Amino acid sequence: MKINEIIKITIIIFIITFFGKTSQVRAEDSNEMSNSGETTYEGRVLEILDESQNPNGGFYQKIKINIQNSDLENKEIVVENGYGDIPSSQKYRKGDTVVIMAFTDSSGEQTFYITDYVRRSHLLSLFIIFFALSLLVAGKRGFTSFMGMLITFFIIFNLVLPKIFNGSNPIFIIILFSIIVIPITFYLSHGFNLKTNVAIASTFISLVITTILSLIYVNSAKITGFTTDESSFLQIMKEGTINMRGIFLSGIIIGFLGVLDDITVSQSAIVFQLKEANKRYGFSELYKTSMDIGKDHIASMINTLVLVYTGASLPLLLLFINSSKGFNEVINYEIISSEIIRTLLGSIGLIIAVPITTVIAASVADLTKGGEKV
């Protein structure tokens, strides 16, 4: 059986297995929600019956909605939205598709509230554009990369997250995830060749170094992982059984893996292409020339560090610039320092990946005389 056929069979097995598990989990969650006195519906806004605004910027709406799913399908209800003092509330219009939460009291009477918009159609259209461009620009390789993305998605939601949620060691689970996903996604995206083999080896070495550094600095800096409301809610829900520091470390590793593919594969490809262009190049010439290009990658990444962090934490930073606290005091807060540590550790991993990949690729290319067959 050819390798390509094995890959296709593996993909089908992954998708069928994990999709089935996901559907089962969703069904269980739906049953649990329905038994808790809260039910979620979706509906379309038919008419704005009343709308007013007060000087404080808040507003009030009375809205007629047609429910479009479940046992109340086509039932028309009237829902109040906004109470005059919440300027952040959404203002809805005729034709909007919305999410409705129904609360059932002890007498069986239901009270309805609008909680959000239904955004699936927008997500689907953007996903189709992404998939179409992947096929159009990258062709077959774009399709196999897309399959790798699906496999990663299903492994995360059906292996990684459930295991961590049930109390397993987050670091162990993420390392196991990395061992499984890195070869699958790399081979699907870049094929079976020396370039990919070198990239995989370099990724694992860089991952080990970054993980060790992360363990040292997250522990020495006394990062707890309780920097968001979500982490606190999760800890309360699981009654203290979740290792939040481990989850923080796992997040660093996952984020690091998300961009390491580009660095290791591109740097490995540069070395082998140089060897193919000039068979007389030995290790030293390959390393020196490839590192000149790699240094440009590193320099570009360093220049974007501030921009990336600012973009990810803009609301938080806006709050701090209006504070009377000094810079030294602000960066010492865990909510700020943890993000700085996360960004710097990931960046260190990317920086060391360049020389590591270049050394391995130059050694292999020199020994194999640039041959691409394993």
Whether residue 142 is contained in a domain is answered as no
- Which pLDDT score, from 0 to 100, does residue 305 have? 66
Whether residue 218 is contained in a domain is answered as yes
Would you mind telling me the total number of residues written for the chain in this entry?
A: 374
Claim to verify: residue 363 and residue 299 sit in the same structural domain: yes
**Which of 8-12, 51-55, 76-80, 230-234 shows the highest mean pLDDT?**
76-80
Strands 110-117 and 97-104: antiparallel
- Which pLDDT score, from 0 to 100, does residue 360 have? 95
Claim to verify: residue 47 and residue 184 sit in the same structural domain: no
Claim to verify: residue 233 and residue 337 sit in the same structural domain: yes
Give the E-state strand segments of the chain in sequence order. Answer: 38-53, 59-67, 76-81, 97-104, 110-117
Claim to verify: residue 208 and residue 269 sit in the same structural domain: yes
pLDDT of 328 over the 60 cut: yes
- Which pLDDT score, from 0 to 100, does residue 237 have? 78
Q: Residue holding tokens 């606290």?
A: 325
Whether residue 151 is contained in a domain is answered as no
Among residues 120, 147, 181, the one where a domain terminates is 120
pLDDT digits (tens, 9 = 90+) for 129-141: 999 998 999 888 8
pLDDT digits (tens, 9 = 90+) for 23-71: 444 444 444 444 446 788 889 999 988 888 765 666 788 899 988 877 7
Claim to verify: residue 175 and residue 249 sit in the same structural domain: yes
- The residue range of the domain holding 233 is 169-368
Whether residue 129 is contained in a domain is answered as no
**Sheet strands side by side (includes 59-67):** 76-81, 59-67, 38-53, 97-104, 110-117
Whether residue 137 is contained in a domain is answered as no
CA distance 204 to 74: 55
CA distances from 70 to 34, 39, 75, 98 (A): 12, 10, 10, 14
Q: How many domains does the chain have?
A: 2
Whether residue 299 is contained in a domain is answered as yes
331-340: average pLDDT? 82
Among residues 102, 120, 138, the one where a domain terminates is 120
119-135: average pLDDT? 91
Whether residue 27 is contained in a domain is answered as no
The domain that holds 54 is classified in CATH as: 2.40.50
CA distance 172 to 179: 11
Claim to verify: residue 344 and residue 224 sit in the same structural domain: yes
Whether residue 153 is contained in a domain is answered as no
Among residues 90, 120, 150, the one where a domain terminates is 120
Claim to verify: residue 105 and residue 215 sit in the same structural domain: no
Claim to verify: residue 202 and residue 349 sit in the same structural domain: yes
Claim to verify: residue 202 and residue 72 sit in the same structural domain: no
Claim to verify: residue 270 and residue 362 sit in the same structural domain: yes
Claim to verify: residue 204 and residue 57 sit in the same structural domain: no
Claim to verify: residue 217 and residue 354 sit in the same structural domain: yes
CA distances from 23 to 59, 146, 273, 274, 284 (A): 39, 21, 45, 48, 54
pLDDT of 361 over the 90 cut: yes
pTM over 0.85: no
267-274: average pLDDT? 92
